[in-house]
Amino acid sequence: MKLAGLVICIIAIAATACLHPSGVEDGMIDCNLTLIGDCEKVLSLGEIRAMPSCEGRGGFFTTIGIVNGPFKCRGVPLEDLCDLVGGINATDTVWISAHDGYLMVFTRDQVRGGFIAYDPATMREISHQELEMILMYEQDGSLLSKDTGGPLRVAIVGDCELLTEGHYWVQWVDRIEINK
Amino acid sequence: MKATQILVLVVLAAVIVMAAHLLQEQEKTKLKVVYAGSLVVPFAEIEKRFESQHPGVDLQMEGHGSIQAIRHVTDLHDHVDVVVVADETLIPDMMYPDYADWYMRFATNRMTIAYTEESRYAGVINESNWYRILQRPGVTVGLSNPMLDACGYRTMMVAQLAEVYYDNQAIFDDLIACNFDPGVSVERVGSVSVVFVPEILEPRTEKIVIRGGSVQLLALLDLGEIDYAFMYKSMAEQHGLRYLELPAEIDLGSPEHEDSYEEVVIRLGFRRFTSVGTDRVGKPIFYAMTIPKNAPHPKLVAEFVEFMVSEEGLRVLRDTGQPTVLPAADNPEKMPDRLKRRVLTIRIFVPLIPCFLSTPALRRADEMFDVDDISHPPGMPWWL
């Protein structure tokens, strides 16, 4: 009896270890990202996570100034995703949309990090940092949940603690389209 | 009694007291209030007052842009008890008939130009020269992004209306259009001016500074990095800024000028929300609220709405810089009974406010209620 209990415990621990820190298996997350540029590609979360990733710190503030973060954010640089479908030219715009019907349009400069950053302590604009716009899938070491805008969310990150305007942080991203 | 027994009794008593306290906390009913961000200051006080009078209620206040506030009900399917927006037309446009079938207007606002004592030409700017002051070399002007903030597209409406009011066809171009690349263009369709906002709005001069919302502009004004910012009167007052009142013909705060406001349409460069189109038509600014059909606590939240439009609630708004109006309802027959009484009281004043009679909401209210019992003091302004 004791042996059976021990075996069950070991199996449970092993199963837990196979899960991501958020407690969700990658394969269980239903997520397809459609990329449209010169051609069209559809990527699963697993394929996105297999791409070279980057990590940085970033947070955002809402319309009324409520601060969220900064978080440790991990994801794929937006420009790398755009490169998979032909890349962005100087005059192109990148339309990022979500399954809830939200859409935000970005310039190439923004995709390359051209945002105004704010100090989380003072909410003052801070001198331009090296920023990066990423498609985040992991926040503070856990896969994004639906409540945190996951499985895929836009994030703007840098090397230090900083905030950007919240409307850029598109939640539940399912489509990225490059418009010529 | 042994010391250990006493200790056990003390611990037990403490546990019971804590459990009772926790139970009491858990028993509080949570009412979710999703409201327009420009109401953040008055709503902090409203929350405090209502909760003190209703100890069993915990108001969960969430401030958003008005469209986003509605989307919490219609697109995100959150359980929201009351939605409060800074543009009353959004409720019928986005929520009727599936998510709501009435709304009540209760507050208003006006567009102003906020500044500080340090702003260039602060001593000389006035109602008749402001557009020339803002164009002077070295003067910087802050705008909210019209793609992201209602105050932003209302700023463009003000500049467009100013051309007619001051009989100067260059105001919009000199102040707004020529400072962006790609530019903001205007087409005349009959008597209506349609302003086309590009999908990306990037200033090409240092005259204009554009940010996502008024919160950021406030910080820039405070630091002296901009001289002037177009802003709601309530925000300027709440943050202790000086502000220039604009003529009623262009400030979007006067229902008697509704017809001329409607002659400006802002067409946004992209559809940020699939649930709402790209055109914004000039209208007097009216704040309104409704209880969604799927509100989890419809009876209790009706008490909150009633408090909002009570004498005390409206006074809180005014005391915190938010101009109010006599509450008026669209489809009042569909409101909860306790709120109908409020509209009836309000309705009594309507015959003294001819400008309201032209609006569909009040015309409907006219048909609903007896208007003989008029007790509103003659001469009292409609905005209280």
Average pLDDT, chain B: 86
Residue A1 has pLDDT above 50, yes or no: no
In angstroms, the CA B167 to CA B149 distance is 28
CB pairs under 8 A between A and B: 60
Residue A9 has pLDDT above 70, yes or no: no
From chain B, the residues in CB contact with A62 under 8 A are 37, 63-64
Residue B365 has pLDDT above 60, yes or no: no
From chain B, the residues in CB contact with A65 under 8 A are 40, 215
Using CB atoms, which residue from B71, B213, B274 is nearest to A63? B213
What's the pLDDT at B42? 95
If pLDDT is split at 50, 70 and 90, which confidence band does B160 have?
very high
Segment A40-65 mean pLDDT? 94
Q: What is the CA radius of gyration of chain A?
A: 18
In angstroms, the CA A77 to CA A134 distance is 4
Q: How far is B365 from chain A (nearest CA, A)?
A: 34
What's the pLDDT at B319? 96
If pLDDT is split at 50, 70 and 90, which confidence band does B27 have?
confident
In a domain, A10, yes or no: no
In a domain, A5, yes or no: no
Kindly tell me the burial class for residue B9, based on how many C-beta atoms sit within 10 Å of its own C-beta (0-12, 13-18, 19 or more).
exposed
Count CB neighbours of B51 within 10 A. Answer: 15
Q: How far is A147 from chain B (nearest CA, A)?
A: 11
Contact indicator for B264, B192 with CB cutoff of 8 Å: yes
What's the pLDDT at B377? 31
- Total structural domains within chain A: 1
If pLDDT is split at 50, 70 and 90, which confidence band does B16 have?
low
Per-range mean pLDDT, top range of A71-80, A114-123, B193-202, B347-356: A71-80
The CATH number for A133's domain is 3.90.420.10
Q: Name the more confident of A49 and B348.
A: A49
Q: Is B65 on the interface with A (CB under 8 A)?
A: yes
In a domain, A52, yes or no: yes
What's the pLDDT at A23? 43
Q: Is A127 on the interface with B (CB under 8 A)?
A: no
A103/B65 CB distance under 8 A: no
What's the pLDDT at B18? 67
Give pLDDT tens digits for A65-88: 889 999 999 999 999 999 999 999
If pLDDT is split at 50, 70 and 90, which confidence band does B135 have?
very high
Residue B357 has pLDDT above 50, yes or no: no
If pLDDT is split at 50, 70 and 90, which confidence band does B382 have?
very low
In a domain, A101, yes or no: yes
A9 token code pair: 């415990």
Q: How far is B187 from chain A (nearest CA, A)?
A: 24
What's the pLDDT at B347? 39
Lowest mean pLDDT among A169-173, B167-171, B254-258, B344-348: B344-348
Give which of A100, A124, A107, A121 is closest to A172, Cα–Cα: A100
Lowest mean pLDDT among A151-155, A159-163, B20-24, B250-254: B20-24
If pLDDT is split at 50, 70 and 90, which confidence band does A127 have?
confident
Give pLDDT tens digits for B294-347: 999 999 999 999 999 999 999 999 999 999 998 999 999 999 999 987 774 443
Give pLDDT tens digits for B260-302: 999 999 999 999 988 888 999 999 999 999 999 999 999 999 9
Owning domain of residue A126: 30-179
If pLDDT is split at 50, 70 and 90, which confidence band does B8 have?
confident
Domain B29-109+285-368 classification at class level: alpha beta
What's the pLDDT at A158? 95
What's the pLDDT at B341? 79
Q: Name the more confident of B367 and B150.
A: B150
Report the 3 state secondary structure along A52-83: CCEEEEEEEECCCCCEEEEEEEEEEEHHHHHH
Segment B154-163 mean pLDDT? 97
Q: Does the N-terminal peptide bond of residue B381 adopt cis geometry, omega within 30 degrees of 0?
A: no
Using CB atoms, which residue from B75, B148, B269 is nearest to A100? B75
Q: List where CATH 3.40.190.10 sits in chain B.
A: 29-109+285-368, 112-281
Per-range mean pLDDT, top range of A9-13, B22-26, B46-50: B46-50
In a domain, A46, yes or no: yes
Segment B18-27 mean pLDDT? 61
B75/A101 CB distance under 8 A: yes
Count CB neighbours of B382 within 10 A. Answer: 19
Residue B24 has pLDDT above 60, yes or no: no
A64/B270 CB distance under 8 A: no
B274/A95 CB distance under 8 A: no
With CA atoms as reference, the chain A residue closest to B63 would be A64
What's the pLDDT at A64? 83
What's the pLDDT at B4? 73
Give pLDDT tens digits for B57-67: 999 999 988 88
Amino acid code (one letter) for B260: S
Q: What is the CATH number of domain B112-281?
A: 3.40.190.10
Q: Name the more confident of B8 and B366.
A: B8
Contact indicator for B153, B268 with CB cutoff of 8 Å: yes
If pLDDT is split at 50, 70 and 90, which confidence band does B182 have?
confident
Residue A143 has pLDDT above 80, yes or no: yes
Give pLDDT tens digits for B33-84: 999 989 999 999 999 999 999 999 999 999 988 888 998 999 889 999 999 9
With CA atoms as reference, the chain B residue closest to A122 would be B219
What helix, strand, coil percent values describe chain B, rounded to 5?
40, 20, 35
Q: What secondary structure letter does DSSP report for B361?
A: H
Alpha helices by DSSP H, chain B: 3-27, 40-53, 66-74, 90-95, 130-135, 150-165, 171-175, 214-223, 233-238, 258-261, 298-308, 311-319, 337-348, 354-357, 360-368
Q: What is the CA radius of gyration of chain B?
A: 24
From chain A, the residues in CB contact with B68 under 8 A are 63
Segment B216-232 mean pLDDT? 95
Using CB atoms, which residue from A62, A123, A167 is nearest to B219? A123
Average pLDDT, chain A: 87
Name, in order, each residue with C-beta under 8 angstroms of B301's C-beta and a sequence gap of 6 or more. Answer: B31, B81, B82, B291, B295
Q: Which of B68, B94, B144 to mutate to test the interface with A (most CBs of A within 10 A)?
A: B68
Segment B201-209 mean pLDDT? 93
In a domain, A72, yes or no: yes
From chain A, the residues in CB contact with B200 under 8 A are 93, 105, 107
Contact indicator for A100, B75 with CB cutoff of 8 Å: yes
What's the pLDDT at A30? 66
With CA atoms as reference, the chain A residue closest to B213 would be A63
Amino acid code (one letter) for B323: P
Q: Is B223 on the interface with A (CB under 8 A)?
A: yes
B272/A103 CB distance under 8 A: yes
In a domain, A21, yes or no: no
Q: Which of residues 89-108 of A touch B (CB under 8 A)?
A: 93, 95, 100-105, 107
In a domain, A8, yes or no: no
Contact indicator for B254, B284 with CB cutoff of 8 Å: yes
